[in-house]
Structure 1
Amino acid sequence: MEGYGKWVSGRIGRWVTLAVWILAVGVLSAAWPGVNSQVVNNAANLPLDAGSVQAEKLAQQEFPSGGGIPALLVWHRQGGISAEDLVHIGAVYTALEKKPLPHLLSVPPLGQLPPAALQAQLSKDGSTLVTPLIFDKAADSDQLGDSVAQLKEAVKAETGRDLSAADLASGDLTLRVSGPVGISIDAVGLFKDADVSLLIATVILVLVFLLLIYRSPLLALIPLVAVGFAYGAASPLLGKLAQEGIIIVDSQAVSIMTVLLFGAGTDYCLFLIARFRQLLKEERSPGRALLQAITGTSGAIAMSGFTVVLALLALLLAKFGAYHRFAVPFSLSILIMALASLTLVPALLAIFGRGSFYPFIPRTAEMEKERAAAKGKPDPRQKISRKGKIGRLVVTRPWAVVGAALIGLGVLASSSGGIRFTYDLLSSFPKDMESRQGFDLIGSQFTPGGLAPVTLMADTEGKAAAADMKSVLSSLSYVDSVSDPQSGAVNGNIKSYEIQFKVNPYSRAAMDYIPALRATVEQALDDAGVTGPGNKVWIGGQTAEQYDNRKVGNRDMDLIIPVVIGMIALLLLLYLRSVTAMLYLVATVILSFFSALGLGWLILHDLLGVDAIQGAIPLYSFVFLVALGEDYNIFMISNIWKKSRTMPLKQAVSEGVSETGAVITSAGLILAGTFAVLATLPIQVLVQFGVITALGVLLDTFVVRPFLVPAITVLLGQLSFWPGSCPKIPETQSGGDD
């Protein structure tokens, strides 16, 4: 570490390090595309063996005309749609038949129907009409968005007004595009709109925090410069990997990656900066102070970064595409950020030296006296150090500290048992989002199941007894309507039915009907004498996809959470060489995670009125909180371990808590703040993720790190190092300096 430190902070090495970073980022940016240019937002989330995927494959083979993705045009006029409105709607469809939109597969011949036929399809109060358009499933969200934009222009040309901009309660004719196409467009649009605002808000927040902490404009910019260089290197690397088809990146991954870089990256920088600032008050030579800071913190920084990288790489084990796509962007960006913290940041600190902290430059006591004498002022009085209150409390009353922390965290963790989860994509949209407004109209005026019908296909093997499947399906209490059967183009014994549920097709209740529906049809086939009915039923559509999403997501969670815990435990064991310390460090972070879930649920549900949180939140939050939470423990425990070699353990704990307190508190506030920025976005899944992760970081920062972990260390004493040991130095004092 000393050799590396001498190089990156040396007279020549500092400039070479800076030049290498500038050259690397410049060459990579010029040679390879940025990650944002390679974003793909319609990538598959489900594996090929998922039931809904198999159903879609069969549908394309047997029922090729139904292989598209529907857009539902929701026409509405408060007080009732007029005959003139119906003429305009028919004219729009006639125009689309003559001049199809890009990626439009089929247009129902509504323009050929008399107005009376359309009148019959209105809602009961006559205010709403839903008409479909079928688009190509291969089109991505951007392409669909362009097509829908052209559709709205065609509607405007026919009606003379922008119906999409009209207020639903205005009494004018309005148009809202919903269904799978509208939802897909809005989902991607939310993340696109969020990227710039998220970046600006994160930069401002980190900058303000750094200015408040160090009151130095230059020092506040150094971590931001490092993050900028890290992003400048990560973006083209990820862009190239995506261009070559090695990975797939989406807008959500890029958004969270930006927050992660600023939050975790600033933390790593602060670990070094805080130690450098402390040593500048003890060492006259800034070069020697920086070298000591590098050798003293680089191991913990490298270990922290490696822990996060491995935890995020565990997402590669996921079968669910959204989880899997996070692994490489997140882990690679953190790896590059850790390298920047270990090389670029020391080089910049070496270049600016004490001036990095201007105007509040840290100096040794002797230098302060010399400075005062040169100005003709009295010698500054030596500040009297005071005992660290938290450190003293931890070592004098460890049982009380552990008990209070465990009770508090345990109560919060118990609240996590009452969490309700949802996989309803629409619930994550703002209420004024177009596709959600359209869906609300469908749900209030028609059956909500019409938004995304379920497609059921069954191989009847030509059995006459299986021919009355429509009656069986219609008799189910949760089914609102069933279409007449269609026969397969290749295998005529395969019958297809379109089923509309009575509930929101994206809701948890609708998903719970999928296995029941399958069991009912399999039993009917078995009763009809069909052989092997378990392999003769296929269920497709949005509800079936959501059911598979939940099933695969739960599988990933059950696999990845133990793997992450195991990897972090192994790394801690290798780094600390203590089984005992590894066990209680992992246990406290897991407790902190469940406490954050419980507290997050209380805030989101009881204060913000959220009925259920998105099903992906626990896994997302777990990976981030367990990995990032161990950062602070590693930094503090490594400090305590070093001190325990030269002083009594209680004194080492007290001083370790006091010395790392300020920097970990600052780092925790910045990291929590960056995740909290996500809560300002109009996307509920990011709001929920941001709130829970920010709370978890704060619990780690203000409860687990300063109180629970050091108090447990005091109680265990020498056992904390088992099977290793530390010198048994007699206890002479139990306080530490702040």
Structure 2
Amino acid sequence: MKTTWFSKYGKWISSTKGKWITLAAWLIILAVVNVTLPQAQSQKDDLAANLSDSKPSVQAQKLAEKEFPSGDGKPALLTWYRSTGLTDDDLANIQKLSKEISDDPLPKQLNAAPFHKLPLPVLKKQVSEDGTTLVYPVLFEKKASTEDVKESLKKLKDRVGDVFGDNPFDTKIDTKDSLLVRATGPAGIEVDAVDLFSQGDLSLLLATVTLVLVFLLVIYRSPILAFVPLIAVGAAYGVISPVLGALAKAGFTTFDSQGISIMTVLLFGAGTDYCLFLIARFRTHLKEEQDKKHALKRALSGSSGAIAMSGLTVVFSLLALLLAQYGSIQRFAVPFSLSILIMMVASLSLVPALLSMLGRASFWPFVPRTRDMEEERARKKGKTPPAPKTKASFGERLGGGIVRRPWMIIMATVVILGGFAFFSTKIQYTYDTLSSFPKDMPSREGFDLISKHFNSGELAPAQVIVDSEEKSIDLKSKLEALPFVAKVSDEKKGKSDENLLAYDVEFSMNPYSNEAMDHIPDLRKTAEKALNESGISNEADHVWIGGQTAEQYDTSQTTDRDANVIIPVIIAMIALLLLAYLRSVVAMLYLMATVLLSYFSALGLGWIVLHYGFDVSAIQGLIPLYSFVFIVALGEDYNIFMISSIWKKSKRMPLAQAVTEGVSQSGAVITSAGLILAGTFAVLATLPIQVLVQFGTVTAIGVLLDTFVVRPFLVPALTVVFGKWAFWPSKRGMQAVKEQNHPSKNNAV
């Protein structure tokens, strides 16, 4: 029998010297990196830009900051509301607050609307037509950090309490005939967004650890073994966090709270899976080998290649995110791929070292023993040795059923998955930041009040800037004539270039909606047409559209581009890795096809659950690409583990028997791994952040479909149908033919 590298490695790490050297190396590395390098949490940047300087909305913003600096800041819109109508006392107190923060500005405050200088009758004209709502803008410095703005809003809340007595910030939104106020607008939204993610970090970590621990205890019923994967994941995270922090500090990568949250889930889910595949092999071989060292060597030899292949598949898939132009997507690449790489190393080094130390005691109280060991143990206790089990296991019966009826299995699974995939065509997408907030978040409540009692377009007007080249342009009237425009401001001239003219355009609809976003090209066409009619050539180079709605439009265009680039690259990379590992074009093609089918099925079923079960009208536009990376890469993991088992067995038995035993051998561990991975992603659905709820739901569904439909039914059934051609063009295909033509030789083996 040929000695493989993994066999040699398994022999070394299971030795007394090898296991202690491995453990010592991990402890030294952990100590060094944590003492010398900064932690990832200290280097995260929740305000990192998502759009590059080349995007039209960013160019418009920079031009506006230079030429029209009066609006250069972060506005917090204090939305005052009383259901029965604002009273004169309410307005008088608001004027008192206005004077106070004008005389003694808040930290990082640029200016605030001078309501205290307005006579009461004039101020009343700023109130909504129904008399219930007033918006008071406070502008903060553009470069003020989120923490600065948060601290300022906290001080503002204290001042409001001093002025009004009962603080309107604390009044519930559904309280009748009571004054309330909410901070919305860009400043309020920014603070709420960061708060959401920071609140979720600890709860997410605790929930994930608890879930994984419970699953491991239920699966293995061993308190000792349950902590082995958790120790490995903890050690891996102990290395990942400072390494990421050092990379960020050196400027090699950027990440945010959202990335760290998902990385934690990925690390526990995928990391535990890799540990389980080795542990399951170890337990199997402990029932065949009395020597724990030999059992561990066989376990590493049999599973290390598949673990390494699966890990590299995910690492390369995640690195493909570096090709993204959208910052939030690109920032996932380094943290996620690095975490999987280090976790893969931990599962192939630290975990076997721990198992070597613990041996059979790892599985206490249900210790795996060989038949001879069981008989000897029974004799010592004066008991009758247990009879060997002759009844076929569930996995063997399942594998046998697939071998007997592959076409029925294929048709049934394709119909089910195809039906779910159909609903993926019905999905509605949104790029509205506020829609990802819980309905009771202050900034969302404030925005809803503005939407109901004013024109919601006031919250985030678009800015149209044109270069008139000293020519007369009738642009305001043309913009006002557009059916989706509620109001257009008078033109403003540039600070250093008076040929630059700017117009604030308020939409007649929610400026964060897809409907408003779709009108950005219409604004551009209208401006270009006006320039063209004035005799200006190359009019496209003389128009800039800025504002939140324009940013969302650029986001949709950029993420669509990213999906069109990254998805084919990931498919190609995984296909090449599968081809190199399996050396079969046919197997590579049908394995890729099954994972893609499960991906679209997960999108469709996820939409059914979110839309019809949780009344979600639209999911975040980033979800399809996020989910694709994880469902395809992690789903291919399970295919690799199962198909590698079938491939190895096909060397010494007919393919039908190899499929039966491969399904039986890999079924339990893959099912356990799939449940843990799906569970960890499902934990995201418990957070109050809709983008993570939607991502966690779709990805968990995709993992479950891979675990319970694609891997145990569709893949082995396709392997049976393709038969010898499943190996084409490798030489193993010829070997399979010979084995099927000469069954007596197989029986002899």
Specify the TM-score bucket, using the shorter chain as the normaliser.
over 0.9
For the residues of structure 2 that align with 1:158 and 1:67, how far apart are their CA atoms?
29
Are 1:313 and 2:319 an aligned pair? yes
Partner of 1:660: 666
Task: Give the CA deviation at 1:6.
Answer: 1.9
For the residues of structure 1 that align with 2:355 and 2:236, how far apart are their CA atoms?
17
- Give the SS at the match of 1:500: strand
Partner of 1:110: 115
Aligned pairs for 1:639-678 (under 5 A) are: 639-678=645-684
1:715 pairs with 711, 721, 727, which one? 721
2:440 pairs with 414, 432, 447, which one? 432
Partner of 1:730: 740
| CA deviation string 1:281-302 (max 9, x = no partner) | 1111111101100111000000
For the residues of structure 1 that align with 2:44 and 2:152, how far apart are their CA atoms?
19
For the residues of structure 2 that align with 1:389 and 1:381, how far apart are their CA atoms?
21
Task: Give the CA deviation at 1:106.
Answer: 2.1
For the residues of structure 2 that align with 1:352 and 1:262, how far apart are their CA atoms?
22
For the residues of structure 2 that align with 1:293 and 1:409, how far apart are their CA atoms?
34
Partner of 2:3: none
Matched to 2:297, the amino acid is: L
For the residues of structure 1 that align with 2:194 and 2:12, how far apart are their CA atoms?
46
For the residues of structure 1 that align with 2:464 and 2:687, how far apart are their CA atoms?
38
For the residues of structure 2 that align with 1:462 and 1:187, how far apart are their CA atoms?
43
2:704 pairs with 688, 698, 711, which one? 698
91-100 or 486-495, which deviates more: 91-100
Are 1:514 and 2:520 an aligned pair? yes
Matched to 2:32, the amino acid is: V
1:322 pairs with 312, 317, 328, which one? 328
529-538 or 512-521, which deviates more: 529-538
Task: Give the CA deviation at 1:717.
Answer: 0.9
| CA deviation string 1:647-678 (max 9, x = no partner) | 00110011001100000000000000000111
Are 1:299 and 2:305 an aligned pair? yes
Partner of 1:141: 146
| CA deviation string 1:204-263 (max 9, x = no partner) | 110000000000001000000100001000000001111112111100000000000000
For the residues of structure 2 that align with 1:22 and 1:149, how far apart are their CA atoms?
43
For the residues of structure 2 that align with 1:31 and 1:160, how far apart are their CA atoms?
50
Matched to 1:123, the amino acid is: S
For the residues of structure 1 that align with 2:365 and 2:381, how far apart are their CA atoms?
17
For the residues of structure 2 that align with 1:486 and 1:106, how far apart are their CA atoms?
20
Q: Percent identity?
A: 57
2:404 pairs with 396, 405, 413, which one? 396
Partner of 1:171: 177
2:77 pairs with 62, 72, 81, which one? 72
Task: Give the CA deviation at 1:116.
Answer: 2.1
Are 1:185 and 2:191 an aligned pair? yes
CA contact (8 A) 1:179 1:451 kept: yes
- Give the SS at the match of 1:408: helix
Give TM-score, length-normalised by structure 2: 0.96
- Give the SS at the match of 1:378: coil
For the residues of structure 2 that align with 1:654 and 1:104, how far apart are their CA atoms?
70
For the residues of structure 2 that align with 1:135 and 1:41, how far apart are their CA atoms?
18
Are 1:37 and 2:42 an aligned pair? yes
CA contact (8 A) 1:454 1:500 kept: yes
Are 1:452 and 2:460 an aligned pair? yes
Are 1:90 and 2:95 an aligned pair? yes
Matched to 2:740, the amino acid is: P
| CA deviation string 1:102-138 (max 9, x = no partner) | 2222222222222222111001111110011112222
Are 1:422 and 2:437 an aligned pair? no
8-17 or 135-144, which deviates more: 135-144
Partner of 1:333: 339
Task: Give the CA deviation at 1:8.
Answer: 2.0
- Give the SS at the match of 2:497: coil
For the residues of structure 2 that align with 1:407 and 1:599, how far apart are their CA atoms?
14
- Give the SS at the match of 2:341: helix
For the residues of structure 2 that align with 1:9 and 1:146, how far apart are their CA atoms?
55
For the residues of structure 2 that align with 1:16 and 1:81, how far apart are their CA atoms?
74
CA contact (8 A) 2:84 2:176 kept: no
For the residues of structure 1 that align with 2:399 and 2:110, how far apart are their CA atoms?
69
113-122 or 723-732, which deviates more: 723-732
For the residues of structure 1 that align with 2:142 and 2:24, how far apart are their CA atoms?
48
2:166 pairs with 158, 161, 165, which one? 161
Matched to 1:68, the amino acid is: G
For the residues of structure 2 that align with 1:61 and 1:35, how far apart are their CA atoms?
35
- Give the SS at the match of 1:105: strand
1:377 pairs with 362, 371, 383, which one? 383
- Give the SS at the match of 2:85: coil
Are 1:461 and 2:469 an aligned pair? yes
Partner of 1:553: 559
Aligned pairs for 1:428-577 (under 5 A) are: 428-464=436-472, 466=473, 468-577=474-583
Are 1:355 and 2:365 an aligned pair? no
Partner of 2:288: 282
For the residues of structure 1 that align with 2:177 and 2:17, how far apart are their CA atoms?
74
167-176 or 390-399, which deviates more: 167-176
For the residues of structure 2 that align with 1:357 and 1:490, how far apart are their CA atoms?
76
1:63 pairs with 60, 68, 89, which one? 68
Task: Give the CA deviation at 1:172.
Answer: 2.0
566-575 or 401-410, which deviates more: 401-410
- Give the SS at the match of 1:12: helix
Task: Give the CA deviation at 1:7.
Answer: 2.2
For the residues of structure 1 that align with 2:555 and 2:253, how far apart are their CA atoms?
20
Are 1:409 and 2:431 an aligned pair? no
CA contact (8 A) 1:460 1:494 kept: yes
Give TM-score, length-normalised by structure 1: 0.98
For the residues of structure 2 that align with 1:142 and 1:580, how far apart are their CA atoms?
55
Task: Give the CA deviation at 1:385.
Answer: 4.0
Partner of 1:259: 265
CA contact (8 A) 1:198 1:678 kept: yes
Q: Deviation above 6 Å: which 4+ runs of structure 1?
A: none
- Give the SS at the match of 2:557: helix
For the residues of structure 1 that align with 2:191 and 2:14, how far apart are their CA atoms?
50
Task: Give the CA deviation at 1:140.
Answer: 2.7
For the residues of structure 1 that align with 2:350 and 2:687, how far apart are their CA atoms?
32
CA RMSD of aligned residues (A): 1.4
Matched to 1:17, the amino acid is: T
For the residues of structure 2 that align with 1:419 and 1:380, how far apart are their CA atoms?
57
CA contact (8 A) 2:221 2:366 kept: yes
91-100 or 582-591, which deviates more: 91-100
107-116 or 609-618, which deviates more: 107-116
| CA deviation string 1:537-595 (max 9, x = no partner) | 11111101111011101000000000000000010111111111111111110111001
Task: Give the CA deviation at 1:393.
Answer: 1.2
Structure 1's unaligned 5+ residue stretches are none
For the residues of structure 2 that align with 1:317 and 1:539, how far apart are their CA atoms?
26
For the residues of structure 2 that align with 1:552 and 1:375, how far apart are their CA atoms?
71
For the residues of structure 2 that align with 1:535 and 1:225, how far apart are their CA atoms?
58
Matched to 1:566, the amino acid is: A
- Give the SS at the match of 1:343: helix
Task: Give the CA deviation at 1:279.
Answer: 0.8
2:249 pairs with 243, 246, 249, which one? 243
